[in-house]
Amino acid sequence: MTLQDRALACGTRACVLLAASLLEQAGIPVTRAARLPSEVGQDCTIVVVCGDELEDAGRLRLRQLELERRVLVCEISSTSAQSPRRHLALSDSEIQALCGLMDTTGFSQATPIGIPFAETSAALYAAAAIMATRCTPTQQALTQTIEVSLYSCAVNALSTFLPKAFVGTRASRMGNLHPSASPWNTYRTEDGWVLICTGSDDQWRKLADLINVAPADRAGLDKVVERVAAVQRVDGLVEGWTSHHSTAECVAACDGIGIAAGPILQVSHLADEPNFQLRHAEVAQQITQQGISHDSYRGVRIFQIVGLHSEASPSGMPAPTSTPDVGTTANSSMTGPLAGLRVIEIGQYTTAPLAAKHLAALGAEVLKVEPLEGEASRAWTPAIDGTSFFFALNNTDKTPIALNLKDVADRDHFAALVAEADVLIENLRPGALAKLGFGREALSRLNGRLVYCSISGFGIRSAYPARPAFDTVIQAMGGIMDRTRTIENDFPVKTGVSASDILGGQVALFAVILALVQRQDRGQFVEVAMQDVAAWATLYTAGNPETPGQVHVDADGSTWTTSDPRTGRRSVPVTGVEALLQDPDFQMDVLTMASDPNGTLWPVLKPPYRLSHTPARVSSVPGHAQPPVSRRNARK
């Protein structure tokens, strides 16, 4: 069966424009229109529309086309169709205020995220859901409808803050600090600021040696819990060193010992950033010559796909032209569109786990490979029986397997898993899997149909091939922190949620599904660099600024107020994450429960996209990772 897609994107909101950009990067021709044309359906198979801007006549026309099975309609709206706020047509910043994103960002005062985060997230989830329908037979694909809620997308990003709300405590704003690591902050240099992030006790020891911290000053700082408790003392030691060096000198010194560090890049200087120049030379040249325009973001390719067996630089792939061979289990109205697929995840924290979580929600079987001691985020607090709420939120519907990939027998078992898989997705340092014997050529020999996705901070072809990257560093070097500035003193600050990690994981989700559609029995390599994704979002924002607003603080709390010619002056409350648990939209459209193997019920989040024919589902929380049965017996 042939499926030659053409898309129509209707609306002026960022969610529609960014979704159109994603479909174009997938090779699908897109026509843009501010309003739904009367002849819709005559020359398109996909319609992406903003529900908040859709008139009654247009809505009726789309419903008729759905009944005639002529188009797939994806409707993105600020809230769900059942929401009591449905009529408000909320802006991105208003959604940030209502769902807790604004309250978790900043220092003493709530601060809006400087990119349209909810709209960007909604565009990515919408594009992934659209592409997932292409994993079903043609007729089923055309009978689907997709609904995406910006509110739900925004709340789904709160996995680091919701755990405390679930146990009745408040997660406070921390500026550029990290709640579970130190040193991790913005530090003054001779000529500006530098981000330095350590993720372990060993990294702290290396940094302390670099900056010549005296033994007496190290007393009581050996363990991360001690450093978090004494964060001001630790930060004073670090800034005592950084303040006597330039930003470039600090970054170079940290690079030399494997510590994540980077400058806070101004968006206007993005074209001069070495890694952006290397990976997006044409866009950099255009910005240098003409400045940032309303469509500069469209030139930034946020994923790359190339044949798995080829070591050439990744490049774009053509649009899918036929229904792919994506699995062994036939789809039905009761299964997700990815039913029959097997996914292997080697992930930690957010990016790869987030992408794999949604592949599982869409019906794939996901095997999560963890070290013998379990993924590090299992130990975060709050937790139940050794599993953190954060881990539960990010790893629903996966089967964990404990493997030591430095052990020969475990590598053999991993190779056997790869041989039968459809997807391998990881967020290790570039080259880490190859050092274990599983580079692209080796993976291709094991499984010529494999889709292998690597997520990293700066990409495979990079100006910083050895530089580690945490979310905060990518926010700084991708322009997000420059756009997100405190209201009280215009200071650059990271988003409360891990914006670069989350958006990077969403891009990986979309790109993996696209590669599955395109593979036609040929293995594919997918590369996602989080800096590319951050730059894409900030360039869109710089060229398409949203109506500004203001946080007002009074005795009853904070409000976010905007003045828009279309809606007039309007205020919404700045809601804390703990208050979300009582919000009707959260209770109805976001929150659900899932059980672990012991029967314990966990609060988890529904997918923020609704597919009418092959719905995504969340049902379980994984237990503790166990070695394969054969290896368990061998270790007794």
How sure is the predictor about 135, in pLDDT bands with cuts at 50, 70 and 90?
A: confident
Q: pLDDT at residue 311 above 60?
A: no
**Of 70 and 481, the one with more pLDDT:** 481
Inter-axis angle of helices 92-99 and 117-133, nearest 10: 100
Closest-CA residue to 28 (of 2, 10, 8, 50):
8
Per-residue model confidence as pLDDT tens digits over 147-166 = 999 999 999 999 999 999 99
What is the pLDDT, as a whole number, of residue 633?
54
Q: Is the CB of residue 262 less than 8 Å from the CB of residue 477?
A: yes
What is the pLDDT, as a whole number, of residue 313?
43
What is the pLDDT, as a whole number, of residue 321?
37
**Mean pLDDT for the stretch of residues 452-473:** 92
Burial of 404 (0-12, 13-18, 19+ CB in 10 A): middle
**For 191, which DSSP code?**
S
Pairing of strands 423-426, 451-456: parallel
Per-residue model confidence as pLDDT tens digits over 400-434 = 999 999 999 999 999 999 999 999 999 998 899 99
Per-residue model confidence as pLDDT tens digits over 248-261 = 999 999 999 999 99
For the chain, the average pLDDT equals: 90
Q: pLDDT at residue 63 above 50?
A: yes
Q: Is 552 an active-site residue?
A: yes
What is the pLDDT, as a whole number, of residue 74?
95
- Residue that has been written with the tokens 């024919």 in this structure: 613
**Mean pLDDT for the stretch of residues 213-223:** 95
Q: pLDDT at residue 281 above 50?
A: yes
What is the pLDDT, as a whole number, of residue 306?
94
**Mean pLDDT for the stretch of residues 470-491:** 93
What is the pLDDT, as a whole number, of residue 65?
79
What is the pLDDT, as a whole number, of residue 143?
67
Residue 259 and residue 555: Cα distance in Å, rounded?
A: 43
Check 178, 280, 552, 613 and give the catalytic one: 552
How sure is the predictor about 43, in pLDDT bands with cuts at 50, 70 and 90?
A: confident
Query: ω before 627 within 30° of 0 (cis)?
Result: no
Burial of 630 (0-12, 13-18, 19+ CB in 10 A): exposed
Per-residue model confidence as pLDDT tens digits over 66-81 = 777 778 999 999 999 8
Q: pLDDT at residue 630 above 90?
A: no
Q: pLDDT at residue 1 above 70?
A: no
State residue 100 phi and psi, 5-degree precision: 105, -15
Q: pLDDT at residue 7 above 80?
A: yes
Tell me the helix, strand and coil percentages in the chain, rounded to 5: 40, 20, 40
Q: pLDDT at residue 334 above 50?
A: no
Q: Is the CB of residue 126 less than 8 Å from the CB of residue 516?
A: no
What is the pLDDT, as a whole number, of residue 314?
47
What is the pLDDT, as a whole number, of residue 568?
79
